[in-house]
A and B are shown apart, each in its own frame.
Chain A
Amino acid sequence: MIIRPSWLHFRESSRVWIEDRLRLKPLIDLLAKKLVPRHKYSFWYLFGGLALFFFIVQIVTGILLLLYYSPTPNTANESVRVIVNQVSFGWLVRSLHSWSANLMIATVILHLFSTYFMKAYRKPRELMWVSGVFLLFLVLGFGFTGYLLPWDTTAYFATQIGTEIPRSIPVLGEFIVRLLRGGEFIDEESLKRLFALHVVILPLITLAVVLFHLILNQVHGTSIPIGIRSLREPIPFFPNYLFRDAIAWIAALILLFGLCLIFPVQIGPKADPFASAPVGIKPEWYFLTLYQTLRIVPAAILGVNSETIVNVCVGIAGAFLLMTPMIDRKARMEQYSSGFTWIGVVAIFYVIIAISLAYLT
């Protein structure tokens, strides 16, 4: 007779108890059915999971910050100071929120570029690509709307400049500025609007799009790049690939804690709307490409305002990103489209040069 240790008996009876009530087996079978290919570029598959991980960190730390944050111009800066100075580990939670936001945007960009270069947007994954591009827009929206919330000098004036940019968009510009600011200037209304967008509207939309993206990922599986032959057997997503994802998540957590503990996020002095804007104010790194482009384009070209030109170009670039699966006809026919690869390479170089110039000048 085999005598099983009590903890093994407890584990088995717990599993049966949960299975009897939740009926998770069909879901686990479905996850196990999805296979992840193994080839020389498989490493890049990890970035989608990492972006999801940082999004989860954002939700958890965001909820904790929400317990103390107060969204009015009189109390916003003080409440963030209370979080940093008075609440136990409040400084760490705020740093985790801020650094994981940066890492989330970076991993979403890396995931998007790797998907672009592997042509993973080709049939039947067009909608996965479109939802992914929407997720990039959404995470940039999180960055923009969260920036004003500490109500310090840099945040105030950077948001004032940032919300001014859409004004030159033909037809819709004025409407967008008033929609974001809740009036003509950055004041209590703007803070309330950006707060509502940051903690309710954008998270709900993002959760829905993430769910859609994940369902499509489960339905269509992981794409293999054109011309790449998988020499090894693909592995089941559950549990084998999930373990690899988990290792990447824990490694990302080490990086995140490292950044938070070595470079904790500070808070600047409370914003004074009547003071003049500080010299040399710059946006966050993910908006520096747009910022630098606005600086290098002449004030007017053929009588058209430079901001209008840049806004139209950004619109065209966004539309190109969204429409890539439909435009890239070669990839649709499982042929390698080097033209699109070169567009991606030029885009990467432009982003790197623009960010470097913005930091150096």
Chain B
Amino acid sequence: MRDTLSQHANTFAGIPDIGTRITLFVVITFMLIVTILLVYFKMRESDDKKGI
């Protein structure tokens, strides 16, 4: 097991470059902001029902 682990560990694929990571961050942020907007509209709807 130790040999297999060492062989795997030394074959570097690892952390992607900064360009790929920033692209991933932009995509994730966009999706999460859309989710925030959807939750916000549900919150407003719920507040309106309670007269808040």
Tell me the A residues contacting B by CB distance below 8 Å: 70, 74-75, 77-79, 81-82, 84-86, 91, 233, 235-236, 239-240, 243-244, 246-247, 250-251, 253-254, 257-258, 261-262, 264, 266
Does the CB pair B1–A261 fall under 8 Å?
no
Q: CA of A91 to CA of B17 in the docked complex: distance in angstroms?
A: 12
Does the CB pair B13–A243 fall under 8 Å?
no
Does the CB pair B50–A82 fall under 8 Å?
no
Q: CA of A303 to CA of B6 in the docked complex: distance in angstroms?
A: 51
Contact of B13 among A78, A85, A253, A264 (CB under 8 A): A85
B5 CB to closest chain A CB (Å) equals 4
> Interface residue tally of chain B, by bracket?
20 to 34
Does the CB pair A81–B9 fall under 8 Å?
yes
Does the CB pair A254–B33 fall under 8 Å?
yes
Does the CB pair B8–A82 fall under 8 Å?
yes
A150 CB to closest chain B CB (Å) equals 12
Contact of A235 among B1, B14, B21, B50 (CB under 8 A): B50
B4 CB to closest chain A CB (Å) equals 9
- For this complex, 5 residue pairs linking A to B, each with C-beta atoms less than 8 Å apart, are A82-B5, A236-B50, A251-B36, A261-B22, A264-B15
- The residue on A at minimum CB distance from B25 is A261
Does the CB pair B8–A85 fall under 8 Å?
yes
Q: Which residues of A contact B35 (CB under 8 A)?
A: 250
Q: CA of A247 to CA of B36 in the docked complex: distance in angstroms?
A: 6
Does the CB pair B1–A75 fall under 8 Å?
yes
Does the CB pair B22–A253 fall under 8 Å?
no
Tell me the total A-B contact number using a CB cutoff of 8 A: 85
Contact of A85 among B11, B25, B33, B40 (CB under 8 A): B11
Tell me the residues in window 31-46 of chain B with beta carbons closer than 8 Å to chain A beta carbons.
Answer: 32-33, 35-36, 39-40, 42-43, 46
Q: Which residues of B contact A78 (CB under 8 A)?
A: 2, 5-6, 8-9
B16 CB to closest chain A CB (Å) equals 8
Please indicate which of the listed interface residues A75, A77, A79, A250 has the most CB atoms of chain B within 10 Å of its own CB: A250
A262-B2 contact in complex given A84-B14, A247-B39, A253-B32, C-beta closer than 8 Å: no
A262-B32 contact in complex given A82-B5, A82-B8, C-beta closer than 8 Å: no
Q: Which residues of A contact B43 (CB under 8 A)?
A: 240, 243-244, 247
Does the CB pair B50–A75 fall under 8 Å?
no
Q: Which residues of A contact B22 (CB under 8 A)?
A: 261-262
Q: Which residues of B contact A246 (CB under 8 A)?
A: 39
- The residue on A at minimum CB distance from B43 is A243
Does the CB pair B32–A70 fall under 8 Å?
no
A243-B14 contact in complex given A75-B1, A233-B52, C-beta closer than 8 Å: no
- The residue on A at minimum CB distance from B40 is A247
Q: Which residues of B contact A81 (CB under 8 A)?
A: 8-10
Q: Which residues of A contact B14 (CB under 8 A)?
A: 84-85, 91
A37 CB to closest chain B CB (Å) equals 13
Q: CA of A91 to CA of B12 in the docked complex: distance in angstroms?
A: 12
Does the CB pair A250–B39 fall under 8 Å?
yes
Q: CA of A70 to CA of B16 in the docked complex: distance in angstroms?
A: 24
Does the CB pair B21–A250 fall under 8 Å?
no
Q: Which residues of A contact B47 (CB under 8 A)?
A: 235, 240
Q: CA of A239 to CA of B46 in the docked complex: distance in angstroms?
A: 7
A237 CB to closest chain B CB (Å) equals 12
Q: Which residues of B contact A243 (CB under 8 A)?
A: 39-40, 42-43, 46
A334 CB to closest chain B CB (Å) equals 28
Contact of A74 among B2, B12, B28, B36 (CB under 8 A): B2
- The residue on B at minimum CB distance from A233 is B52
Q: Which residues of A contact B36 (CB under 8 A)?
A: 247, 250-251
Does the CB pair B39–A79 fall under 8 Å?
no
Q: CA of A236 to CA of B35 in the docked complex: distance in angstroms?
A: 22
Q: CA of A77 to CA of B1 in the docked complex: distance in angstroms?
A: 13
Does the CB pair A258–B15 fall under 8 Å?
no
